[in-house]
Amino acid sequence: MAERLLLRHRDIPGLEDLDVYLKHGGFKALRQAVTGMSPQQVIDEVKASGLRGRGGAGFPAGLKWSFLTPGVFPRYVVANADESEPGTFKDRELLESNPYQFLEGLAVCAYAAQAGTAYVYCRGEFWDLAEALEWHIGRLRLRGLLGERLFGTEFSLEIHVHLGAGAYICGEETALLDSLEGKLGQPRLRPPFPAAEGLYGKPTVINNVETLANLPPILSRGAAWYKTIGTEKSPGPKIFCLSGCVARPGNYELPLGTTFRELIFTHGGGIPEGRRIKAILPAGASSSILPASEAVLDTPMDYESVAAIGSALGSASVIVLDDTVDLAWAALKTTRFFKHESCGKCTPCREGTYWMLHIAERIHAGKGTREDVALLEAVARQIQGKCLCALGEFSTMPVVSAMEHFRADFEQHTAGGR
């Protein structure tokens, strides 16, 4: 077992205690950055590490920071802790059990962005975690690790926790910003991107919890070391959230580029009760469903390789479906989710998910015809390419891919030759 960099609490009991965290090298990276590096040097180091955003899009973190409009202040840093993707539960474990590494990463990011204020936007259901975070932040203040003139420098930082109201859309970074500003959580038009006009119209960096938790090890051990983990284009460790029809579901910290087969069969213990693997949702509900062919199972889980086989790594929420699962049912589940979570701002997503759900329900209830199956696919394709944000697009992916690989699952409900 390789050393864990993110889920360190599994090896170090009590890591959620600040003293324990400090004893194990905590806040050395922040001190090192603030006292010994310029913000630009931090950005350069993170760029050199090749760290890519762990929220789903996989955008290079250092590059994102370098887009901040120069000379415009104040700037803000926002941690996206609105972890809402079905089958994703990695940020939750980090926040619960290794919160200081995340907060240290957030502080490093704020220093690099020259932001004096950072926000943690927690999904509404994380109210207990939000309370705990407030407590942890209070501890940091008491220890002088947050607040005015950190480590005797000019750098000051405050971190505030904000609780969402339970909307999936607020994981989308611009909807998150609107929600944080007290508005209805709906995505903004882009451009302008948050790096130019983000929170309260000021340059803003938004990063996922896991992304930020990667920063302390990168700074303390160096970009070159970090790049030895994972693949060339997708370096570093990744927490894979394994769920569905597997013997040992859970979070697994593995290098990017680990194959589906290794995750599911070596770490996850395979499919229980001798059933066969049928399909994989590699990124929760938000990507195309992959048929579990040998070639798919041998695909390395990095951003490029999963894209190359027609899906996306996203937040690496691997949901395994076995041969007892009806893909029409699975598509119904994802559609219901997206219909429930559509923010309603743009027409195709608002109306299209509502329509798709009605057709999918009709089919699943055995009241549909083959024309309905074709219609479901047509409506999904009709949504594609028209939405304001990526979430509308996501809603179509499980449907269209399930239809492509498992059409019989849909048509079996229309038995009777209708």
Partner 1 sequence: MSDQRVTLTIDDVTVTVLAGTLIVDAAKQAGIHIPVFCYHPKMEPVGMCRMCLVEIGRPRRERATGAAVLGPDGQPLIDFNPKLETACTTPVGEGWVVRGLTEKPRAGRREVLEFLLTSHPLDCPVCDKGGECPLQNLTMAHGPGKSRFVYDEKMHLAKHVPLGELIVLDRERCIQCGRCVRFQDEIVGEPVIGFFERGRKLEIVSFSEPGFDSVFSGNTTDICPVGALTTTDFRFEARPWELHAAASICTHCPVGCNLTLNIRRQPNARGQILVQRVMPRQNEAVNEIWICDKGRFGHHFAASPERLNAPLVRQDGRLVEVGWDEALVHAADGLRRANGRIIGLGGGRAANEDLYQLRALVEGLGGRTALSEWMAGGALVQHFGAGSQFDFGRLGAGDAVLVLASDLQEEAPLWWLRIKQAADRGAAVYVAGVRPTRLEAHATHTLRYPAGEAVKTAVGLLHAVRGGEDLAGFRGDDSLRAVGTALKEARELVVLYGREALDAAGTEALARACAGLLTASGHAGRPGSGLIAVWPKANTQGAWEIGLRPQADGLAAALAGAAAALIVAADPAGDDPALAESIEKAGFVVVQELFLTETARRADVVFPAQAFTEREGSFTSGERRVQRFFPAVPPRPGTRPDWLILADLGERLGLSLVKSSASAVFDAMAAEIVAYAGLSYQALSWVEPQWPIVGGDDLYYGGTAYRNDQGLGAKLPALAERGTTVEVPWVAPAEPPSGGDVLLIPVDRLLDAGTTLRPTKELDPRRARAQAMLNAQDAAGWGVADGDEVEAAWDGRTARLAAVVSEAVPAGCVLIPRSVGVPLDAPAAGNLVAARERA
Binding site for partner 1 (CB under 8 A): 167, 169, 184-186, 189, 339-348, 350-355, 358, 362, 375, 378-379, 382, 385-388
Smallest separation, CB 173 to partner 1 (Å): 17
Smallest separation, CB 71 to partner 1 (Å): 21
Nearer to partner 1, 42 or 387 (CB): 387
- φ, ψ (nearest 5 deg) of residue 189: -70, 140
In sequence order, the β-bridge partners of residue 208 are 80
User: Given the structure tokens 């299209």, which residue do they identify?
Assistant: 352
Q: Where are the beta strands (DSSP E) in 256-409?
A: 277-285, 290-291, 317-322
Nearer to partner 1, 187 or 255 (CB): 187
Positive/negative CA dihedral, 168, 171, 175, 177: positive
Smallest separation, CB 391 to partner 1 (Å): 11
User: How far, CA to CA in Å, does 31 sit from each of 34, 158, 219?
Assistant: 5, 16, 10
User: Given the structure tokens 């590494």, which residue do they identify?
Assistant: 101
Smallest separation, CB 185 to partner 1 (Å): 8
Nearer to partner 1, 141 or 350 (CB): 350
Smallest separation, CB 365 to partner 1 (Å): 13
Nearer to partner 1, 98 or 288 (CB): 288
User: Given the structure tokens 């395979």, which residue do they identify?
Assistant: 270
User: CA-based Rg of the chain, rounded to a whole angstrom?
Assistant: 22
Smallest separation, CB 375 to partner 1 (Å): 6
Does residue 391 contact residue 169 with C-beta atoms inside 8 Å? Answer: yes
Smallest separation, CB 37 to partner 1 (Å): 34
Nearer to partner 1, 99 or 185 (CB): 185
Nearer to partner 1, 186 or 288 (CB): 186
User: 204, 121, 193: which is closest to 159 by C-alpha?
Assistant: 121
User: How far, CA to CA in Å, does 226 sit from each of 32, 213, 215, 315?
Assistant: 17, 13, 10, 20
User: 168, 20, 159, 150: which is closest to 84 by C-alpha?
Assistant: 168
Nearer to partner 1, 143 or 190 (CB): 190
Does residue 76 contact residue 119 with C-beta atoms inside 8 Å? Answer: yes
